[in-house]
A and B are shown apart, each in its own frame.
Chain A
């Protein structure tokens, strides 16, 4: 019997959650799950809390089956997951500061998103007044006479999001990188509480702007699961069309930017032009360059009236991009910077459940479009490219190959777009509460949504987990023993979201 099935058998109660079950468990079963994570039988999808209750989302990778475990915490404590499974550490720190639940045995007691600036503590739990003047943060020690530290951020040199990186280096070689995040924490999960679906969808679309389609889709699918609604076939296809356009645009931007960080600006210039083609096609076809607020619960907000701009953009990329790929492949000065740089070990990628190009460049063949899978991808042909090298070059190649797959998907969607409605009404569930979950593949990996609706169609509670949550810690591992100057390349090859992480 698989661990997931065994855990399910040990359920005290099954909660009304769709499409995957949520079960209330006792402490023994909770601890058994944490050992299962450590053993690699299941992968951690998310860890979050609400007053008196902590939740752990698990996925069985071979089958794509998802299970959410919930543990009552009547005394405000729960057994630490991070003590045996390091990927849970930052999540646990977040549960403690946001909800006020204490992970017993958690080896890291430092705050994470809470920089002591909010004037309150535990915004998702029993809120109390707190300091707003900031507090010192203790970075992990690195000892040895020749070491020096390089503090970077939160305001960076480029046009990027804020975060703090503390490098400890020996000469040019990075011995340790420690991230400090949380700067763009906007209080998204609390803003969701009590929001009607329209407002909640708007907020979800702004979790991470570069993945706005994926986040809107994940939110919509969770709402649809909770309310028992299915988006019409035409809407499902249009959603995938937008999601693949977003994927191409983001990958083009990142391929160009990685090369630019190796001082090869020609690639940035060429990829930038292609990216602009995609955004303009999106603007012409859907009325918004980033397609923000176009995917909504029940379907899509706008129909595709004229597919020609999209077809033309696809043709333009097909004409130019192969030459750029060839250029990337034969330019020795560029390869010198990307090959072998920032290698991410396959075992770490698996343990952290690294999604997207980060996982797939290190041998982890996971793509939420395949497993657990969702409409309309079961009716479309595409490959999920995987590499084993785990370096910057492999992550660039995954993106290059995914651009090709997404172009093929767009062509299939345009060729077989069914007629019919694009949106159905989302009824209130009829029950006092209804819960839904979803897992959607954004350009940077799988994003997870859990939400509970009240009887009037408002959000009672919601949790969002970006792919970045499990990718950020892996940059710390990938940079080790590389030179400081290669950090921009490594960082850009991951391209984690700060906003999606900080919420």
Chain B
């Protein structure tokens, strides 16, 4: 193991340059982030991820944000284990009827000010599962959404662009 660590120290970082903020996301966020919230949170946001019914494809790409290539934490963004510690709820999936209450309660457990980022095409309107007896709809059918990052699933780069916009607006 020491060899691995020494090599890593001597090598240039694997992390890639950050993408620019998503313009559309900036506009969308302009509506929801006020100056008071900026002052309170600075540039650091804690994210709580909630799968409300996804196929787990979105989770794979959200996971990738934590790898050495995308390194989400350099932007002051980190995933936390409890909604009590979170500023941002990142929600995937069509919201299933079986998950609806769990999502509502997770949202209620997140302290204000808070933002909801809906991730993936299903989170927008239910995607291919829209209209099912078991699906309540997109995320905003259950809780208010501040930013939507589309894709099936969105690439880590698309996720980063949206999140960087969030950080720029809230900074």
Contact = CB atoms under 8 A, between A and B. Distances in A.
Interface of A: 113, 115, 117-120, 123, 132, 134, 154-155, 157-162, 182-188, 190-191, 199, 202-203, 206-210, 212, 253, 266, 269-270, 272-273, 275-276, 279, 283, 289-290, 292, 323, 327, 331, 497-499
Given A185-B96, A206-B129, A209-B57, 10 more contacts: A159-B63, A183-B99, A187-B133, A187-B135, A202-B128, A210-B57, A273-B68, A275-B67, A292-B57, A292-B152
Contacts of A119: 97, 133
Contacts of A279: 64
B166 to A, nearest CB: 17
B106 interface: yes
Given A157-B82, A210-B57, A276 B98 contact: no
A209 B64 contact: no
B134 A187 contact: yes
Contacts of A207: 55
B69 interface: yes
A119 B101 CA distance: 14
Main secondary structure of the interface of A (DSSP, over half): loop
Interface residues of B, number: 49
Contact of B134 (A118, A134, A202): A118
Nearest to B121: A206
Interface in B30-80: 49-64, 66-69, 79
Q: Indicate the member of A117, A157, A331 with the most B CB atoms within 10 Å.
A: A117
Contacts of B131: 191
Contacts, number: 143
A306 to B, nearest CB: 19
B9 interface: no
B67 A184 contact: no
B69 A276 contact: yes
B96 A186 contact: yes
A25 to B, nearest CB: 32
Given A159-B79, A269-B67, A154 B129 contact: no
Contacts of A160: 51, 59
Interface in B1-49: 1, 4-5, 14, 49
B55 A162 contact: no
